[in-house]
Structure formats: C-alpha cells, structure tokens
Amino acid sequence: MVMGNLTTVIKDIYEKGGRKFAFINVAPLGCVPVARASNPGNTGACMEELTSLARLHNKALPYLLQTLVSQLKGFRYSNTNFYSFLIERMNDPAKYGQEVVQGRSARHHHHSSSHSSPSKLFVFGDSYSDTGNTNKSQASWKYPYGITFPGKPAGRFSNGRVLTDFVAKFIGVRSPIPYRWRKYGIPLLRYGMNFAYGGTGVFDTINTGPNMTTQIDLLECLVKDGVFTIRDLESSVSLVTVVGNDYNTYQIRNGSAQGWESFITSLVNQITTNLKRIHGLGVKKVAVNALQPLGCLPSFTATFSFHKCNETINSLVSFHNLFLQQAVAKLNNETKDSPFVILDLYESFMSILNSQGSIKFVNPLKPCCFGISSEYSCGSEDESGARKYTLCEDPESAFFWDSLHPTQKGWSAVYSALQASTLRQL
C-alpha cells in the first residue's frame, strides 16, 4: 500500500516535469528513543517488530525505483541508505566520535546484561554453512579448496572459512564440529554441531544428502540420546542457510519459470515450519538468511563476461526475500522475545558488488577459480589428472571463489556488512 501510494506521488511529479528524484530510505524505526522506551521490559533494546517493517520497506524501494526507470523516460534517482547510516553509528558510536556512556547500553548488543551469552551454535543448511559434512567425492574435498584455511581441502566450499565460521566468531564460540565427525571430536561438542550439507535444500534436491527436515531430525535424535540437553539448546543460537538449491532443482525438473510464485510460497512456508521447529526444541535465537542475489553468481554472470548480473533471476529472489521477511515478522509477532532473525545476504552481497563495503574488490563478479569451459568447474581434472580450471594468483583479491561461493575474504566482507545490520540482533 505504501509503495503504491509512493508510485502515484512520483508519477504525479513526473507528469509535472520532474525528472530527478532524491530518496532517503526509512530509519530503523524500532531503535528511535520512544520505541526503545516502550519496549517490554524497558531493556533499552530496539523493537524488532518496527525495525523489520523498516527493512521490508527499504528492500522493496530499490525494486520500485528500478521499475520506474524502465517505465518513465528520463527518470533518474538517488537513494540514500539512512537505515545503515544510523545502524552503523549505534553499533560503534566511538568510531564516529560519540561518547559511550557506561551503564545500560543504548544499543542492542548480543551480550546484553539481561541475557547470558550463547555457548553453542547449531547449524542447518547447505554449502554456504557446511564445514565438512559432505562425502569426499565432492569438490570441497579436492584441491584447490581449503588452500587458505586450513591449508588443504577439508570440506568447506571455499578457499577458507565460510559463513558458519564468522557467525561462530561473532557469538564467541569455536566453529561447531560437523555432524559427520561427531565421534572423533567429542570435546568439541561443547560448541554445538553443524548439520549443514552442501548441495541440499529445504526440500530434496538433485544432490544427495539430508534435506533440512532430516538435519533437524538429527539434532532431535541427539537430544533424545542425551548428547545434548534442553539446557544446551536454551543457551544456543541456530544458523539456518538457504541459498537456492531448491530453485535450481525446480528449474531443472520443470524446465521453465512457470509456477515459480507458488513454489516460492511453498518453500518459504516450509522454511517457516523449520524455524518454528528449531525454536520449539529450545533454541533461543534462530537466524536464517535472506537469499543472496542469485543472478549475480558467476554461474549466471559468465554469460556477460562477469560484468553484470541477471536481473530477471534477481527479481525472483526479491519475491522470495519479501515473502520471507513477512513470514519472519509474523513469527516474531506470535512469539515472545522476537527469537527469529534474518541475516540479509542480499543487501550484504549487493553492497560489496557495488563497491560500497569497507573491503573492495577489483571485479567482484569474477571468480578466482573457474572451469576452462562450461563442462568443467573449479577443481576439475581430466582422466590424466590435468587441471581443467583456472586459478587466480591471490584469492584475497576476489569476492567469489568459484561459480557459486565467496572466498574467505568475500565472507569476511559479508561478515562486516552483517555486523553493521542484522547480526547484532543475535
């Protein structure tokens, strides 16, 4: 409704001769003093219900403006990110020359005095969070994967650390042991467990491996067997990653985009069910990612010589993310303490790809490791063992590692962007 009214206003101004427009997106409404003061419990924390509405608006605004560019000849605009401007200053006031007053913190920090710090991380998902669960026939167990960390292939779909490692760092625990290796690292169980399996999805995909429902089943079995207790879960955080394997499977099985909207709806509904189930097991905070801009992955930008994204695909991503935002906001409204958090990979990726982040890349769309032709991928070899891929000299110079996944440096840049926005809600 708001976007519809805004469109009407813009078109009215355009018809009167206006061609250049300046916009400022919505501030984090739940963090303004009056909202914090009225927050239940008077903890001084931001009201997530209001802030999530602001994020929803801000996510929709760029798509509206791009649509108007195609509809209105000569329409030009600038869009100032006032939301991030304020969040960054609340997150690190000293950096911007503001005095930090001791006592009750005005910013909502993950180590607030009213809540103990999480001691465990439980991870569900796919290759963006898998740290070693796939079998050793997968690319993540072959050179050159893992060359930066730990120095050899070890099951991560990158040259080094992935999203799980950075989230673990943020909450102050070691990266949890993969489920596959649980019997060989019993002392590491105190940090939680990683059930994520590369190539899998919310539903079954074309890749073998446990879908998300099965991954949650595995945790439930460990609780029943006494490996983890309810108290363990109550002092934990959960990371859930969904990065598009379900959509790839849908496309391959159906051959067209027909029916996408109903499939997106069913997928987000199942994600919602999974989030509720994880929280129902006792986990206090559950973070799920907004889908990254799939149209900007090298597997799609290769067609454009790694110089531009596929906006048609990104428009489908935007529908997924808007529906997910609405579903999570509804969940938080129905649940005490707003336990569900969206990690906005879309905005994080786009800010980096548009060179707006603190870490810059020369050509962020071009991967470090790529097959020499469409028949091959990073790590491919022929029958004689000859390499069928190219590898850049310095993985630290690239945002993308292969056709789908960021480098360790890329994930570090994403982590920095998330720290300034949604990670702080954990």
Q: Which residues are catalytic?
A: 127, 402, 405
Residue 342's DSSP bridge partners are: 288
Q: How many beta carbons lie within 10 A of that of residue 68, not counting itself?
A: 17
What are the residues whose beta carbons fall under 8 Å from the beta carbon of 223, sequence distance 6 or more?
229, 230, 233, 281
Residue 309, CB-side half-sphere exposure with 13 Å CA sphere: 19
Angle, alpha carbons 266-335-56 (nearest 5°): 60
Cα–Cα distance, 35 to 58 (Å, whole number) = 19
Concatenated DSSP letters for 113-127? TTSPPP-EEEEESST
Cα–Cα distance, 221 to 239 (Å, whole number) = 19
**CA distances, 144 to each of 197, 199, 279, 378 (Å):** 20, 19, 37, 8
Q: Do 404 and 420 form a contact (C-beta atoms < 8 A)?
A: no
Q: How many beta carbons lie within 10 A of that of residue 169, not counting itself?
A: 13
**Nearest of 39, 19, 41 to residue 29 by alpha carbon:** 39
Cα–Cα distance, 376 to 150 (Å, whole number) = 25
What are the residues whose beta carbons fall under 8 Å from the beta carbon of 250, sequence distance 6 or more?
260, 263
My answer on whether omega of the bond before 150 falls inside 30° of 0, hence cis, is yes
Reduced to 3 states (helix: H, G, I; strand: E, B; else coil), residue 163 is: helix
Q: Do 392 and 398 form a contact (C-beta atoms < 8 A)?
A: yes
Residue 76's DSSP bridge partners are: 20
Q: Which two tokens stand for residue 257?
A: 């985009």
Concatenated DSSP letters for 4-23? HHHHHHHHHHHHTT--EEEE
Angle, alpha carbons 130-147-355 (nearest 5°): 75
